[in-house]
């Protein structure tokens, strides 16, 4: 019964993340259509405003600051706190971490302009970055925004909202099994980093890495 129901799940609904990790992105390969939840309430300390990259000394978290009281707001109304120079810090961190990565010079021009714009809303920033990542990965799965919040999605829709948790980064993967690839620092592979780690390190081979880790 469970296998039969799983076979009918051809669409995915998921919350929108900031520079999402590989588990998130792999979901776009597993389903025929993806719905981004556009009417949930914001959740603090989640992937919605943070990602993880591999630096010379450690795994670093890049967090987009949001204005106080935003956990009471709909996700599309969450405003970025631009009184903090987060964009400068994030881009400099990406340059320091990946400036010498094989494909940084090819893909950096896609991302750098994003960090020179002043974004008002977190959702808009995340959507722009996701669009860029999907384009570079040549993933063409149709993506839509939800029209309203539905607690229990229709049959055939896999509900992954709030399942991927930044506080449990090393937990069981949802859509992919880690496939090691050559990262920019150190001999030890760090799985499930931001997709930007994969893109800068593997370039056009990134999609093959994702496909190799796709869980049945």
Host H or E run for residue 37: strand 33-37
The tens digit of pLDDT for each residue in 28-65 reads 999 999 999 999 999 988 999 999 999 998 999 999 99
Cβ contact 42:71 at 8 Å: yes
Distance CA 54, CA 177 (A): 19
The tens digit of pLDDT for each residue in 109-123 reads 999 999 999 999 999
pLDDT (0 to 100) of residue 4: 44
pLDDT (0 to 100) of residue 170: 62
Q: What pTM, to 2 d.p., does this model score?
A: 0.93
Distance CA 147, CA 51 (A): 26
pLDDT (0 to 100) of residue 166: 80
Angle at 183 between CA 115 and CA 29, to 5 degrees: 75
Q: Which residues of the chain have pLDDT under 50?
A: 1-6
pLDDT (0 to 100) of residue 116: 97
pLDDT (0 to 100) of residue 48: 96
């Amino acid at each position: 019964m469970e296998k039969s129901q799983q076979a009918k799940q051809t669409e995915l609904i998921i919350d929108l993340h900031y520079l999402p990790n590989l588990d998130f992105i792999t979901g776009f390969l597993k389903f025929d259509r993806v719905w981004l939840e556009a009417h949930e309430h914001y959740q603090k300390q989640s992937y919605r405003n943070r990602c993880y990259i591999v630096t010379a000394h450690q795994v670093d978290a890049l967090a987009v600051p949001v204005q106080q009281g935003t956990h009471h707001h709909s996700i599309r109304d969450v405003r970025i706190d631009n009184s903090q120079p987060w964009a400068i810090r994030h881009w400099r961190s990406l340059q320091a971490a990946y400036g010498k990565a094989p494909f940084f010079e090819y893909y950096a021009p896609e991302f750098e302009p994003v960090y020179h714009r002043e974004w008002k809303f977190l959702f808009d920033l995340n959507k722009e970055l996701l669009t860029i990542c999907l384009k570079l990965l040549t993933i063409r799965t149709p993506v839509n925004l939800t029209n309203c919040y539905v607690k229990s999605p229709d049959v055939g829709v896999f509900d992954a909202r709030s399942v991927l948790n930044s506080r449990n980064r090393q937990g069981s993967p949802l859509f992919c099994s880690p496939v090691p690839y050559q990262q920019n620092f150190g001999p030890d592979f760090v799985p499930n980093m931001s997709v930007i780690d994969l893109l800068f390190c593997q370039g056009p081979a990134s999609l093959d890495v994702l496909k190799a880790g796709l869980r049945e």
